[in-house]
Structure 1
Amino acid sequence: MQTDLQPVIDAAMRSAKPAELAPGKVYSLVTPDGRAHRIDLTGPEFTGIPARKSGTTVVRDVDSFLAYFDKHGDFASEVYADVENRTITAVLDAHETETPRWGGHRLELRLRPTSAWSAWMHADNKLMSQSQFAEHIEDNLVDLVEPDSATMLELAQSMEVSTSAEFQSSQRLDSGARKFSYIEEQTGKAGHKGDITIPATLILALRPFEGSEAYRVTARFKYRLDRQEGALKLGFKIERPADILASAFEDIRTLVADGIPEHIAVLNGAPARS
C-alpha cells in the first residue's frame, strides 16, 4: 500500500465503521475535516496482476511460434518477416484500426543453423590435406546422398592410407570425376602405384535451420596438386548457399502464414521499435 495514502486511510477508518478495502477498486472517502479523497487500489502493487502483457519471447521453430501466437495473439496482432536477419516477429498487442495499443508484447522466431549446416559451411571453399578431408567426410557421412555414404567412406579410407604417397598426375574422366595417380615408396622394393578417383560433385541433404526440412545441396570438388612435392590438397565449394538459406526461410515464412488467422498478413520487414 502506498505510504502517502496511509494517513488518509487511517483518518477514514477513524471516522467510519471498520471496513476492509478490497484491492482492484477505487474508493472515495471524506475525512472529518470535510476533505474528499480518492483511493485507487487498482494498480499491480495492490492486485498482484501486471497492468499489461509485455516482453519478447524467443522461440526456435514454427510449431512453438504458432502455439504461443494461438495463446496470446488476437485480431489486431501483426506479423513481420525480416529476410535479412531471418527472423519472424509477431507484435501481439499491435495497434487496432482506431485505438492505439502498447506494442510491447512480442514473439520472435529466431532461426539457428543446424550443426550439420555449420560443419559444411565452415569447411566450404577451403583446401585441406588428405587426412583432414577424409576426417571431414567420415564425420559427416550421414549428410551424403550421392555418392552414397558407403562409397564415400571407402574413398576416405583410401585417402588415409595414401597420405604418405607422392601424387604424380591427374586425369579428368568422361563422367567429370578426376583420377589422381600416385606412387608410394617402399624400402627395398619398387614403388607401389595406385590411384584415387574423386567424383566431380557431392550431393548433400542438409537442414539449414533447426526445425526446417532438408534441402538438396550440391558441392563441387576442388583440388590442388603440387607436382614438385607430390602433395594433394582437396576441398569443395557449396553451390549458391545464400539461395538455399533464402528458400528455407521462405518456406518457414509460408508455414507461419498458413498457421495464423487468414486475415493477418505476414509483412515483409520489421516492426517499429517498442
Structure 2
Amino acid sequence: MADKTEFQAKIEHNLALASMGGVGFDRNAYGQYAVVPDGHQLQSLEKFQDRPNNIKTDHRFVSAKSFSEYLTRFFTDSMLITASSDKAQMYAVIDYHDADPECGVVLPSHGAHKAIYTARKTDKIKAWLSMCNTPLGQIDFGLFLEERAVDVIQPMAAEIMEMVMQFEATKKVEFKSSTRLADGSRQFSYVEDNQTRGGITLPDKIIVRAPIYQGMEPQDIKFLLRYRINEGSLKF
C-alpha cells in the first residue's frame, strides 16, 4: 500500500499530465482516476485494469464444509468471523481492518469481501420439531410415529409399532389415571364400555438419530414425551 507521500506525489503527477492535455493509464496499477473539466462526469478507470482494486463479493453458503474451504482459500490475518445463534449464521469479512504491526495504527479496509454461512435444519429435524408444543390426540400421534419410526433408535422399532397398535386399539376407551413407574415410563389405566379395565405403558422419552443441520453428521437427540388425560382421552 502506498504511503501518504507516494500517494500525494501520484496525484500531483497526474494533475501535471492533465494540465498538459494528457492522462497516463497503467493497466497494472490500482486506484487510478481521471481529472476532468467542470461540467463533465468523473469516470472510474477500474474496469480497464487487468484486475480490480479489491475483491467485492458476498458469497452465501448452506454447507459448512464449503464455507470452511472458502475461508481457508482466502485466509488473511485480518479476517473477522462473527456468529449469530438466533439466525444460525456465521458471517466472515475477509478483508477486515488491520493494524500496522510496528506502530499499531489501524489500517482501514473496504470490508467488501464477505462470506455468509446459514445453517439449514434437515427435513428430519424439522418434522420432529413441528410436533413440539403441538397438542395431539393419540391417533394423530400414532400416525406420526408410524411415519417417522425410521428415525427412532430408542425405543426399538418393534416397540414403536406396538405403541402405534395400542393407540389404535384404545381409541374408543376412557382413560382414567396414570402412574409413573420406576424407569420413568408411565402406565395409563382405562375403562372400555364401562366394564373392561386395562392399561398401556408408554415411554417418557424418544431418542432420534439425525443430523440437525444439512451437511452435518447424525447425532442422538432426546425428545421428552408429556402426556395428559383430557375428558377420558389421551393427549400428547
Q: Is the 8 A contact 1:114 1:210 kept in 2?
A: yes
Change (3 A) 1:29 1:178: closer
1:127–1:222 contact (8 Å) kept in structure 2: no
Q: CA separation in 1, counterparts of 2:65 and 2:142?
A: 38
Moved more, 175-184 or 149-158: 175-184
Tell me how large the CA RMSD over aligned residues is: 2.9
Return the alpha-carbon distance in structure 2 between the equivalents of residues 76 and 219 of structure 1: 42
CA deviation map 1:129-162 (0-9, x unaligned):
0111112212222332221222112211221232
- Cα distance in 2, alignment partners of residues 221 and 83 from structure 1: 26
Q: 5+ residue gaps in structure 2?
A: 1-13, 28-44, 101-106
1:73–1:93: 8 Å Cα contact kept in structure 2? Answer: no
Cα–Cα, structure 1 residues 51 and 201, in superposed 2: closer, same or farther, change >3 Å? same
Task: Tell me, in whole angstroms, the C-alpha distance in 2 between the residues paired with 1:155 and 1:232.
Answer: 13
CA distance in 2, matches of 1:72, 1:205: 35
Q: Secondary structure at the match of 1:38?
A: coil
**2:41 is matched with which residue?**
none
Deviation at 1:124, TM superposition (A): 1.3
Per the alignment, in what secondary structure is the counterpart of residue 117 of structure 1?
helix
Cα distance between partner residues in 2 of 1:184 and 1:48: 84
CA distance in 1, matches of 2:222, 2:213: 17
1:203 corresponds to: 207
Count of paired positions: 199
Question: What is the match of residue 59 of structure 1?
Answer: 61
Structure having the larger proportion of residues in strand: 1
1:21-40 alignment runs, 5 A limit? 35-40=20-25
Preserved contact between residue 177 and residue 200 of structure 1 (Cα < 8 Å): yes
Q: State the match for 2:225 in structure 1.
A: 221
Name whichever of 44-53 and 195-204 sits farther off: 44-53
Q: Aligned partners of 1:172, 1:107: CA distance in 2, in Å?
A: 51
Q: State the 1:41 CA deviation.
A: 6.7
TM-score, normalized by length of structure 1? 0.62
Identify the residue that residue 82 of structure 2 maps to in structure 1: 80
Percentage of identical aligned residues: 27
Q: Provide the residue aligned with 1:231 in structure 2.
A: 233
SS of structure 1 residue aligned to 2:227: strand
2:137 to 118, 125, 129: 129
Q: What secondary structure is seen at the aligned counterpart in 1 of 2:22? A: strand
Distance 2:24 2:143 in 1: 74
Query: Any conservation in 2 of the 1:78–1:94 contact (CA below 8 Å)?
Result: yes
Tell me how far 1:60 sits from its aligned partner: 1.8
CA contact (8 A) 2:64 2:119 kept: no
